[in-house]
Amino acid sequence: MTGVTAAPVPDHLADSSYLRACRREPGDRVPVWFQRQAGRSLPEYHEIRGTGSILTAIAQPDLATEITLQPVRRYGVDAAILYSDIVVPVHAIGFGIDIKPGVGPVADQPFRSASDLERLRPLEPEVDTPYVLETVRNLVAELDVPLIGFAGAPFTVASYLIEGGPSRNYTHTKALMRSDPTLWDDLMGRLADIAIASLRSQVDAGASAVQVFDSWAGALHPADYQHFVMPYTTRVFDAVADLGVPRAHFGVTTGELLESIAQTGPEVIGVDWRTPLDVARRRVGRPVTLQGNLDPAICLAPIPAVEDEVRAILALNGGHPGHVFNLGHGVLPETDPGVLAHVVDLVHAEGRADGPSGDDT
């Protein structure tokens, strides 16, 4: 962990709709951004992305900067998210992992025993991922909306390392956590420290918020989440609390975990489309900002159906100032960018962020 203190957020960003919503302050509109807003649904992305591993594209700051900016220009979203990936740090320290197009992260030699810990030394962001920090600095100089930095949560990154690739059942991961709790603790502790170092360096370089992706935590029974995952996610959030930027959590199928996730400490909690926002609001059990939760598949439906769903989500939120509109998961590659632009316009035109927060009740 570095001892750096982040530069204060510039005034024009501190008052942005996204950061106001993260602080649950009333505003004149509901902010909106989309997970995976940069990427394969944009023709301008295909034009400049080139072929080869996405990890090669991420290592080129000028390219990564431009790709991050593309959706901000096109959609007028209220936040940018860094073009990078959750496996960038473990790749950079030499674990041996790549990202295969259409598949996801793949490791030829999965993590299976204590000797594999040797491939997980601590991350030194300025040395191991200088290109990420250069991209962040480039972006902060260009953007007039906040930049969200991110890291993979220990569990979701562990699942790729242990399974060796995307997984349906997480059999090796679940077996390891139960068969060797000591090794699990060492692995999760190292991944927590890697996430902490990465997040701190991004904020130090100018990111205005951080999001921790525990995309696959929803595969766990709540008791297993609490026992095997929560302590490490909590450690990550605790270790970046002093930076003073909003901390967001995201996961899929986390309806049964929302109360536990809230206890890990984030100010913002992503909700997928399977849980209605009003239900999520009750489940989290403490004042937080909810982020979500349009089903990305709806964006492939006719416009009137998309409008109905957007309005239904805004209605369920009821004008609560702690709402950041988003999809329940990432933009699907076949999405028409025109539909996303329409969603942004509709949320801006009709979303209300001036209602009671109900936080004191």
How many H-runs (helices) and E-runs (strands) does the chain carry? 17, 9
DSSP annotation of 293 reads E
Among 12, 47, 51, 102, binds ligand CP3 (CB under 6 A): 102
Alpha-carbon separation of residue 60 from 117, 175, 193, 283 (angstroms)? 29, 38, 25, 42
Task: For the CB of residue 115, give the shortest distance to ligand CP3 in the complex, in Å.
Answer: 25
Nearer to ligand CP3, 24 or 188 (CB): 188
Nearer to ligand CP3, 16 or 41 (CB): 41
Active-site residue flag, 85: yes
Distance (Å, whole) CA 36 – CA 330? 5
Q: What angle do CA 208, 209, 212 make, to 5 degrees?
A: 155
Print the binding letters for residues 105-144 with ligand CP3: x by CB under 6 A, - otherwise. x---------------------------------------
DSSP annotation of 99 reads E
Cis peptide before 317 (omega within 30 of 0): no
Per annotation, catalytic residue among 160, 170, 225, 232? 160
| Footprint of ligand CP3 on 330-359 (CB under 6 A) | 330
Nearer to ligand CP3, 132 or 321 (CB): 132
Task: For the CB of residue 272, give the shortest distance to ligand CP3 in the complex, in Å.
Answer: 10
Active-site residue flag, 40: yes
Retrieve residue 239's tokens. Answer: 């270790």
Report which secondary-structure segment, H or E, holds 250: strand 247-250
Alpha-carbon separation of residue 256 from 92, 105, 221, 268 (angstroms)? 34, 27, 8, 17
Task: For the CB of residue 19, give the shortest distance to ligand CP3 in the complex, in Å.
Answer: 18
215 binds ligand CP3 (CB under 6 A): yes
Residue reference for tokens 């040395």: 127
61 binds ligand CP3 (CB under 6 A): no
Nearer to ligand CP3, 39 or 61 (CB): 39
- What SS3 state is found at 240? helix
89 binds ligand CP3 (CB under 6 A): no
Per annotation, catalytic residue among 23, 40, 274, 311? 40
CB 7 within 8 A of CB 245: no
| Footprint of ligand CP3 on 11-40 (CB under 6 A) | 35-40
- What SS3 state is found at 57? helix
Active-site residue flag, 49: yes
Nearer to ligand CP3, 35 or 289 (CB): 35
Task: For the CB of residue 230, give the shortest distance to ligand CP3 in the complex, in Å.
Answer: 19
Task: For the CB of residue 203, give the shortest distance to ligand CP3 in the complex, in Å.
Answer: 16
Residue 163 CB-half CA count within 13 A: 19
Q: What angle do CA 186, 189, 191 make, to 5 degrees?
A: 110
- Listed ranges 102-110, 222-230, 268-276, 310-318: which one lies at the site for ligand CP3 (CB under 6 A): 102-110
Among 104, 122, 285, 338, binds ligand CP3 (CB under 6 A): 104
CB 131 within 8 A of CB 198: no
Among 19, 22, 30, 54, binds ligand CP3 (CB under 6 A): 54
Task: Mention every residue, 6+ apart, whose C-beta is less than 8 A from residue 203.
Answer: 6, 149, 210, 240, 243, 245
Retrieve residue 94's tokens. Answer: 């030499």
Nearer to ligand CP3, 83 or 155 (CB): 83
Task: For the CB of residue 216, give the shortest distance to ligand CP3 in the complex, in Å.
Answer: 7
311 binds ligand CP3 (CB under 6 A): no
| Footprint of ligand CP3 on 175-214 (CB under 6 A) | 213
| Footprint of ligand CP3 on 216-275 (CB under 6 A) | none
Residue 43 CB-half CA count within 13 A: 3
Question: Which stretches of the chain bind ligand CP3, using CB under 6 A?
Answer: 35-40, 54, 81, 83-86, 99, 101-105, 150, 166, 213, 215, 330
- Tell me the catalytic residues: 36, 40, 49, 85, 160
